Amino acid sequence: QQQVKQSPQSLIVQKGGISIINCAYENTAFDYFPWYQQFPGKGPALLIAIRPDVSEKKEGRFTISFNKSAKQFSLHIMDSQPGDSATYFCAGYSGGSNYKLTFGKGTLLTVNP
């Protein structure tokens, strides 16, 4: 049973555009929702994260929007740059689970110059 559904699988955006990646979760016990960024040949690295007590979190050009009632959250990348080209994973975590994350399947983002 997939507990975090991520879409789209791949995304192509022009430089300067907005990239949007969506995730939906099933486990209502999740209380931490991170996004990881992965460049080719590297391991995933934490990009930004949100807890369900807020509806939005912004860090530079990256924003998470969170909708608790719909059990959905999304990553917005403003003014997308070619250097943002990477695979992005959303994830969910429920406290007390030994820090085990449940990941979405990933989105390959390509930003064309």
Question: Rule CB under 8 A: is residue 106 a binding residue for other proteins?
Answer: yes
Interface with other proteins, residue 99, by CB under 8 A: yes
Q: Does 92 bind other proteins (CB under 8 A)?
A: no
Handedness of CA 81, 82, 83, 84 (dihedral sign): positive
49 binds other proteins (CB under 8 A): yes
| Comparison of 6 and 74: residue with beta carbon closer to other proteins | 6
Distance CA 97, CA 110 (A): 34
Residue 72 near other proteins by CB under 8 A: no
| Cα–Cα distance measured from residue 14 to residue 91, given in angstroms and rounded to the nearest whole number | 26
